[in-house]
Amino acid sequence: MTGRAKTGFTSSIAAVTGGGLASLLRTRTIVALALLLLGLVAGIQLARPGTVNALWISNMVLFAAPLGIVAAGQTLIMLTGGIDLSVASVATASAYLMATHSGLGVAPAIVYGLGAGFVVGLINGTGIALLRVQPLVMTLGTGLMTEGILVVYSQKKMADAPRVPQFIETIGAGKFLGGVPNDLIVWLPIAILLIFVLRRTGYGRLLYAIGDNSEACSLAGIRVWRVLLVNYVTCGLLAAAAGLIIVGGTNSAELRLAEVYLLPSVAAAIIGGTSIFGGRGGYSGTIIGALILTVLNSILTLLDVPESIRQILYGAIILLLAAAYTRLTG
Amino acid sequence: MKGPDASGMRLLERLRRALRRDPSLFFMPALLIASLAITLAIHPQFSDFDLQSLAMGALPLAFAAAAQTVVVISGGLDLSIGSAMAVANVLAARTMEKASFEQSLPLAVAVLIAGAAIGALNGLIVVLSRIPDVVATLTSGFIWGGVALIILEKPGGGAPPDFLNLGTGTLFTPWMPNALVLLVVAVGAIWIPLRRSKLALQLYAVGSDRVAAFRSGVNIGRTRFAAYVFSGLFSAVGGLGLTMTTGIGAPLAGVYYTLSGLAAVVVGGVSLAGGRGGMLGPVMAAFVLTLIPTDLIFLNIDPNFGQVILGTLIVVIVMIGGFVDMGRNRK
Amino acid sequence: MSDSALLLEVRDVAKRFDSVVALKAASLKVRPGEVHGLMGANGAGKSTLVKIITGVFPADSGQISVKGVARSFRSPAEARRAGIVSVYQDPALVPDLTIAQNMRLAGASLDAVRKWLAELGVAGLDFNLLVRDLPGPALRLIDLARALAWEPAVLLLDEITASLPADLSEQIYAMVKQWRERGNAVIFISHRMAEVSALCDRATVLRDGVTAGVTERAHGSEERIVALMLGAETARAVASVPSTRAPRQRSSDAQAALEVRRLGRSPLVNEVSFKLYSGEVLGVAALEGQGQDELFDCIAGSRRYDEGAIFAHGKELRLRHPADAIAAGIVLVPANRLLALLQQRPILENIALPAFGGIRNWGPIRIRAERTRVESAIERLQIDTRAGSELSRLSGGNQQKVVVARWLASGFDTLLCFDPTRGIDIGTKRQIYALVREIAAAGSAVLLFTSELAEIALACDRAIVLFGGRVVAEMPVSEADEAALLRAAHGLAPLGQASS
- Using the Cβ of B319 and the Cβ atoms of chain A, whether some distance falls under 8 Å is answered with yes
Average pLDDT of chain A, as a whole number: 86
DSSP line for C144-183 = HHHHHHT--SEEEEESTTTT--HHHHHHHHHHHHHHHHTT
Q: Which residues 6+ apart lie within 8 Å of B24 measured at CB?
A: B268, B269, B270, B277, B278, B280, B281
User: Is the preceding peptide bond at A165 cis, omega within 30 degrees of 0?
Assistant: no
User: How close C240 comes to chain B (CA, Å)?
Assistant: 42
Chain B CB contacts of C107 below 8 Å: 217
Q: What is the ipTM of this complex?
A: 0.83
Least confident of B17-31, B149-163, C92-106: B17-31
* Residue B212 C-alpha, separation from nearest chain C C-alpha, in angstroms: 4
Cβ–Cβ below 8 Å for B215 and C128: no
Task: Please answer whether residues C491 and C231 qualify as being in contact, where contact means their C-beta atoms are separated by less than 8 angstroms.
Answer: no
Q: What are the residue ranges of helices labelled H in chain B? A: 7-21, 24-42, 48-73, 81-96, 101-129, 133-151, 161-168, 178-196, 198-208, 210-215, 220-246, 254-267, 280-298, 305-330
Centre a 10 Å sphere on the Cβ of residue A210 and count the other Cβ atoms it contains: 25
> Which residues neighbour A66 within 8 Å (Cβ) at sequence distance 6 or greater?
A91, A172, A183, A242, A245, A246, A249, A261
Indicate the residue of A202, A209, A219 with minimum beta-carbon distance to C345. A209
Q: Would the CB atoms of B312 and A319 count as touching at under 8 Å?
A: no
Query: What one-character DSSP code corresponds to residue C291?
Result: S
Residue (of A72, A58, A273) closest to A192 by Cα position:
A72
Q: pLDDT-based confidence at A330, cuts 50/70/90?
A: low
Question: Which of the pair, A21 or C496, is modelled with greater confidence?
Answer: A21
- Between the alpha carbon of residue A122 and those of residues A129, A230, A232, the distances in Å are 10, 8, 7
Determine the pLDDT at residue A184. 92
What pLDDT does A21 receive?
Answer: 57
How far apart CA C108 and CA C491 sit, in angstroms, is 37
Helix (H, G, I), strand (E, B) or coil at B329: helix
Task: Write the Ramachandran bin of B18: left for phi over 0, alpha for psi from -120 to 50, otherwise beta.
Answer: alpha
Distance CA(A228)–CA(A207), nearest Å, equals: 8
Q: Is it the case that residue A97 has pLDDT exceeding 80?
A: yes
Identify from C105, C113, C126 which residue to disrupt to test chain B contact, counting B C-beta atoms within 10 A and taking the largest count: C105
Interfacial A residues in 204-263 facing B (CB < 8 Å): 263
Question: Is any Cβ of chain A less than 8 angstroms from the Cβ of C403?
Answer: no
d(CA A42, CA A60): 14
**What integer pLDDT is reported at residue A14 of this predicted model?**
41
State how far Cα A125 lies from the chain centre: 18
Q: Do A223 and C321 touch (CB under 8 A)?
A: yes
Taking CA atoms, C144 is separated from A236, C114, C137, C161, in Å, by: 54, 11, 11, 11
Q: Would you say A72 and A190 are in contact if contact means Cβ atoms under 8 Å apart?
A: yes
Residue B209 dihedral angles phi and psi, to the nearest 5° = -160, 100
Distance CA C86, CA A242 (A): 58
In angstroms, the CA B276 to CA C139 distance is 20
Residue C107 distance to chain B (closest CA, Å)? 8
CA-to-CA distance for A253 and A162, rounded, in angstroms? 7
Q: Give the chain C residue nearest B212 (alpha carbons).
A: C92
For chain C positions 301-330, those within 8 Å of chain B (CB to CB) are 304
Chain A contact present for B310, CB below 8 A: yes
- Ranges of chain C with pLDDT below 50: 1, 235-236, 238-247, 496-500
Helices of type H across chain A: 8-14, 20-27, 29-47, 54-79, 87-100, 106-125, 135-156, 166-173, 183-200, 202-212, 214-219, 224-250, 262-271, 283-302, 307-329
C:43-72 residues touching chain B, CB 8 A cutoff: 56
pLDDT per residue as tens digits for the range A101-141: 888 888 999 999 999 999 999 999 999 999 888 898 889 88
Interface test with A, best of B124, B260, B319 (most A CBs within 10 A): B319
| Distance, CA of A206 to CA of B29 (rounded, Å) | 46
Q: Does residue B224 contact residue B291 with C-beta atoms inside 8 Å?
A: no
- Are A205 and C356 a contacting pair at CB < 8 A? yes
| A223 interfaces chain C, CB cutoff of 8 Å | yes
Whether residues C56 and B214 touch (CB distance < 8 A) is answered with yes
pLDDT on residue A70: 97
Contact C447, C476 (CB under 8 A): no
Binned at pLDDT 50, 70 and 90, residue B3 comes out as very low
State mean pLDDT over B69-81. Answer: 93
Any CB–CB contact under 8 A between A10 and chain C?
no
pLDDT, tens digit, 9 for 90 and up, residues B253-296: 777 898 889 888 988 888 888 888 889 999 999 999 888 888 88
Average pLDDT, chain B: 87
Query: Best of C353, C374, C392 to disrupt the A interface by mutation (most A CBs within 10 Å)?
Result: C353
Provide, rounded to the nearest whole percent, the portion of chain B with pLDDT above 70.
94
CA B12/CA B18 separation, integer angstroms:
10
CB contact residues (below 8 A), chain C span 77-96, against chain B: 77, 80, 88, 91-96
Q: Is C322 on the interface with A (CB under 8 A)?
A: yes
Interface residue C334 vs chain B (CB under 8 A):
no
CA angle B82, B88, B94 (to 5 degrees): 130
- Sequence-distant (≥ 6) Cβ neighbours of residue B265 within 8 angstroms: B65, B68, B69, B72, B272, B277, B282, B285
Q: Measured between alpha carbons, how far is residue C399 from residues A188, A282, B33, C69 in Å?
A: 39, 25, 60, 40
In Å, how far from its chain's centre is CA A286?
7
Q: Do C353 and A217 touch (CB under 8 A)?
A: yes
Q: Is C353 on the interface with A (CB under 8 A)?
A: yes
3-state SS class at C70? strand
Chain A CB contacts of B138 below 8 Å = 263, 266
Instruction: Using the predicted structure, report yes or no on whether residue B227 has a pLDDT greater than 90.
Output: yes
How many beta-carbon pairs below 8 A join chains A and B? Answer: 145
* Residues C476, C459: Cα–Cα separation, whole Å: 12
**Could you report how far apart the first and last alpha carbons of chain A are, in Å?**
18
User: Smallest Cβ distance to C353: which of A215, A220, A223?
Assistant: A220
Q: Are B202 and B218 in contact (CB under 8 A)?
A: yes
Determine contact: C49 vs chain A, CB below 8 A: no
Q: What share of chain C is helix, strand, coil (3-state, %, to 5)?
A: 40, 25, 35
Q: Strands C445-449 and C281-285: what pairing?
A: parallel
Q: Which amino acid is at A121?
A: G
Q: If you measure CA to CA, which chain A residue comes closest to B79?
A: A136
Hey, are the CB atoms on B147 and A309 less than 8 Å from each other?
no
Q: Does residue A147 sit at the B interface (CB-CB below 8 Å)?
A: yes
Q: How confident is the model at residue A11 (pLDDT cuts 50, 70, 90)?
A: very low
- Contact residues for C379 (Cβ-Cβ < 8 A; gap 6+): none
B259/A144 touch (CB, cutoff 8 Å), yes or no: yes
pLDDT of residue C388: 58
Instruction: Report the gap between the CA of C190 and the closest CA in chain B (Å).
Output: 21
Report how far residue B144's alpha carbon sits from residue B124's, in angstroms, rounded to the nearest whole number.
15
Which of C95, C101, C107 is closest, CB to CB, to B209?
C95
Question: How close does chain B come to C110, measured CA to CA in Å?
Answer: 15
In percent, how much of chain A has pLDDT > 90?
Answer: 47
Per-residue confidence (pLDDT) for residue C17, from 0 to 100: 75
Residue-level pLDDT at C123: 80
Q: Which residues of B touch A270 (CB under 8 A)?
A: 135
Q: Which of A127, A270, A323 sits opposite B319 (nearest CB)?
A: A127
**Nearest beta carbon to residue B198 from set C80, C92, C104:** C104
Cβ(B139)–Cβ(A318) under 8 Å?
A: yes
* Among A229-238, B190-199, C256-265, the range of highest mean pLDDT: A229-238
Q: Which residues from A are below 8 Å from B308, CB to CB?
A: 145, 148-149, 152
| pLDDT of B6 | 55
C112 touches chain B (CB under 8 A): no
In whole angstroms, how far apart are CA A23 and each of A15, A29, A329, B17? Answer: 6, 9, 11, 56
3-class SS at B61? helix
B149 in A contact zone (CB under 8 Å): yes
Half-sphere exposure of residue B65: CA atoms within 13 angstroms, side-chain side: 30
CA C406 to chain B, closest CA, distance in angstroms equals 28
Instruction: Using alpha carbons only, give the angle A126, A129, A131 rounded to the nearest 5 degrees.
Output: 70
pLDDT in tens, A69-94: 999 999 999 999 999 999 999 999 99
C413-456 tens-digit pLDDT: 999 999 887 666 666 777 788 888 888 998 899 999 987 777 88
Contact B57, B208 (CB under 8 A): no
Residues of chain B in contact with residue A316, where contact means CB-CB under 8 angstroms, are 143
* Strand order from edge to edge, sheet including C315-316: C269-276, C258-265, C307-312, C315-316
Neighbours of chain B (3+ CB pairs under 8 A): A, C
Q: How far apart are the first and last CA of chain C?
A: 35
Kind and range of the H or E run holding C426 = helix C426-441
Nearest-CA distance from C301 to chain A in Å?
9
